[in-house]
Structure 1
Amino acid sequence: MSSRGPMSATVEGPVRVLHVDDDEAFLDLATTHLERHDIEVVTAQHAEAGLDALEESDVDCVVSDYDMPGMDGLEFLEAVREDHPDLPFVLFTGKGDEGVASEAISAGVTDYLQKDIGTDQYAVLANRVLNAVDRDRSKRALGEHDRRLETLLRNLPGMVYRCLNDPGWPMEYVDGEVQELTGYDAEAFESGSVLWGEEVIHPDDRETAWQTVQDALGRSEPFELTYRIETADGDLKHAWERGRGVWNDDGDLEALEGFITDITRRVEHRQKLERQHARLEAMIEQSPDMINVHDEDGAIVEANRRFCEELGYTEEEALEMNVWDVDADADPEDIAAMRDETGDDDLRRIEATYERSDGSTFPAEAHLTRLDTAGDWEFLVFSRNVSDRVERDRELARLREGYETVFEHAQDALFLLEVEADDGEGGSPSFVFESANPAQEELTGVSEAELRGKTPSEAFDDATAGAVESLFGSILETQETATFETELSFPAGDAVVNASVSPVVVDGEVTQLVGVARDTTERKRRERELRRERDRLEEFASIVSHDLRNPLNVAEGYLEMAREADDPGKLGKVADAHDRMRTLIEDILTLAREGSTVTDFEAVDLADVATDCWEPVDATRATLRVETSRTVLADRARLLQVLENLYRNAVEHAGPDVTVTVGDLDDGFYVADDGPGIPGDQREEIFESGYTTSRDGTGFGLTIVSEIVAAHGWTVEVVESETGGARFEVRGVEFA
């Protein structure tokens, strides 16, 4: 039989009885009377049927006859007690034998009642049943109460106590998690060896705790307080206590009873939340961003200081506004759509136009997320005035457009390379062309489309790639701009390149290289020409200041002597000096007029030129042999000067009987004589200006030869001839 809840002394709730009797008519009559006393009746006509009924129905009491066929009432009682030892059992029998009554009481019957004549017996039966049920319910209720109390104490997250109202609060009784809470066992408190108020409560909290309890007792109210306790191990905990005073019938306070539990985690959690809240509130209020919260209908419910200051509203004014009052681009329909489209954990970026209280506007960037607060949706919005960024973007766009224009139309070659880090296995970083302008193609002969995505070694030959990558590697190490000028070989041809390459450094690493290059080949050529011309002018200045000064001094000296001595014979020396100066002047003018290059080439018969320029040479006893029939590409007049100077040099140094031969070389021609030749240690000096071993020579004849040969792009070298004389070999000549 299932248990029922606790009952008071008076039976509460419906009472159900199983009545077993073999007399059907008696059962019907008894049922009628019992039901008048609000007793539900289940009937059975023999004991076996009664046991079946107990299995099928919950009943509060069994009423049974004694004398029944098969199993009598006492045997039935014994069978009931096997499964329902505490179920009230009333033996209601017509057999009024004292022996039966005694046996029934010994068997554990709850009550014994004899059947009688008349209807009063049913009222007595009903009373006996109700009393038996009441006692049973009270007994079970008390047992259940004790069991629940024991369970409560066993599972209570703390301790219960009874103590005296004394500052030390000596404990008369403690139970529950005493050891877990304090580190002391219950006996330590109940014996008085540990006083709660003097040894457990933290010293700084004792006075406040005592006063709080006394104030509540003075009002005859329960007390509730929190304080810190020190455990037996010296640990500090936070405790929560609730209790009340217990007064006797005379109104005197006997003791305090209450409950104490550990709230350390709750206090620490609350303190942590308070700190987090304080930090969060400070972050929100001090944030450089505008922060506001609005509900799902668009009404602003919270706004930080920056939000109000930026828009020119007080906090009170802001909290009376809707989103569309601030965002000029929004309306209620937009807010509704945003509400429907924003899911959990979504972070939406919104570009907006915010309007200040004075009507001015500014662009804003907002980030919005949804909050679920107590079942309602709210939306947290972080906004920032991006006027500066918008203007900066516009400026960047203008700069980018200007950069692209410059990039495309710059006369200098511009290029950009990506720096790809090494593979982590000891390999070197690689440089990959990302873009280049049209001028780069003019310089290198490689289009941007062909260049993009390639490394220097993939775009150029090994020598050029090696030089370029070596330079790039040094830039990675120094992270500084490098400027260089060198001759490189490109598909478009060799060129002298002046370049400046700068690194783009991000987080301490070079990520890109930006370069500007210019073809300086022509400039370098002009510089070399100017250098030669400057050297030539310096030579002329030296000649004028030195070589002409000597014969001029000689002429002036002899002229003065002729005047003083009236000796006309001295004038011959003057005339010789003038001839010397005239020759020097002619050679200097020739040297100055030659220039450094020849541009007017023509087909010249070498034999004809060699013969024509022999006649002006004062060599009546000398012999010329022309052993060539080739036609060369040259400036005829300047070639005549070369041969004439070589002839004169041979006559001056080899003597009037010299034989001069003009012959062919594989790549040029030669002029040789059969004179004494030129010593080997003097062969490199003979082409220098002013160098001569002849008393009558100017030292410029071979210099003129060297200049004219170089102007043609040829070379000249002096070696020993077959006869032991001097042989001038001119090479690099192009034949027609």
Structure 2
Amino acid sequence: MSEAIRILHVDDNPSFCDLTREFLQREDSRFEVVSENSPTDALNRIQTEQEQLDCLLSDYNMPEMNGLEFLETLQQQFPDFSAPFILLTGEGNEDVAAEALNIGASSYIQKGNPEVYEYVATRIRHDLETEQAYRDSQRFDTLLSAIDDPFYILDGNGRFSYVNNAFCDLTGYDRATIRGSDPSLVKDEQAVAVGEKYLAQLLSNDGPDSTTFEVKIQPKNGDAIHCEDRMSVLPYEGEEFRGSLGVLRDISERKAREQQLREAKERYQLLVEQSLIGLYISRGTEIIYHNPKFAELFGCTDEANVLASESLSERVQPADRDRLADNLGEVMIGDRDSIREPFVGVQADGDTINIELLARKIELDGEPAVIGTVVDADEDDQSYWQLRRERDRLEAFTSIVSHDLRTPLSVAQGRIELVLQELTEGSAVESLEDADRALRRMEAMLGELLTLAKQGEVVADTEPASIQEIAESTWENVETADAHLHVSTDNSIEADPGRMKSLFENLYKNAVEHGRSDITLRVGASEEGIYIEDDGPGIPADVREEVFEPGYSSSEEGTGFGLSIVEEIVEAHGWEIGITEAESGGARFDITGVEFAE
């Protein structure tokens, strides 16, 4: 409302218009009264000045149309005109008064003595303030309804005086139900007490301007909702407390995540504390953390006993300390991914114990560190030591095959080559050529045998490997005659790329060796894993298990180790392989249990 209050007075008596103007402007210097003597003239003025008019005074008894008809015409022609309409009449008539208020008049005043002008001025001010307050509330309601988060206002008595649409959506109650009710409608007794506690803090002399706290909101239906309430106090009117307001934020998802983290932490703590394997974290050989089993392995009765040792080195015999320090140092600087080595441990009472120590590099507080395990090699890990001995024997075997057998084979092949160059008699040449082929076959078999021995080692580290890239690059390095390759997947799997190449190489060779020269191979992915199939003669069902046995071959030229190597690679990854018939009638190898990379 502007500082000047412009009033349009409509009355068919010009003298009464002049008198009314004089009295009203005397009552309030802000009043600026303009007059029209007929409703038609008044409507014309409203058409051009409606934005400047703040209030209408209208007589009831006028010859052209009465005051009620004038109001109805005004509403029809100018539906957006919202200035207060005060009806003046010379005689009291309750029916007229009721109808006037019913159709939209803001006030009904009976003309009379001069004192009525004071009342008219008061009514004008009141109706204008009411209209302005209504407009403000409409804008306020529109603004707060647009807020995405639930919003509420509590009056000085602690009852809801306003809530927005989001608050209604959160609680499941409509505004009519919420307004006038106290917070117990949507909070239990404990939550109400929490809100009152934080409100008291805001009202204290040294209290903050606002505060944020967690509260559970109980909707009309369903479980309680975890919310965050940001509360503040409404501006005071003098010394009068007018109430508080707050914005709620649904934090149910955050609380659920926090609960999951707590549960995960509890499980992790339980796993570490109750583990049957000694766990430790160190920087180099300096112990930072260990679990109870670690202390138990070294015969320590308390944590201080273990941590009193400045380093892991003091928990192994002197002869092993340099080796342990070197190994951990190599892990720390990244020269080795991990270590798994046997040591002789020294317990608190001086007794010794055979241990196996594993370590891997981690980052702790932004600096390199080591996390590892320690187990009693004599009690808890016999199977590992047996496997280690088997591995050592296998390494010794492959060394013998590689050196002690290959060397004389190479000498024999060289001698035969020299003799072949000197001989001319046909039968002798033919015999030596047969011997040469046999030696070369033995050489190939030894090579395949060495590969078979190495490929069976369990794959410790994998990385995302593109099926298409490995399949196609391997194809380029294999003699495939006129054969064709089609790859229909761009998926990647977690695997050892080097062994995957060997897997594809042996499957390609097997298909080309036993199929046509123009055989077609297809590589693809299924829901269960990957497959390699061809359109060759296929593999009979009764020998599909035998083909994976070392030395099995249906070809005189083959070594019989190709598919054995494939199976070893598959099992080293923890996968499975099976043979079926392809739609083309050829052989199809399905490798399942693979992990597709994201």
TM-score (ref. length: structure 1): 0.30
Larger Rg: 1
TM-score (ref. length: structure 2): 0.37
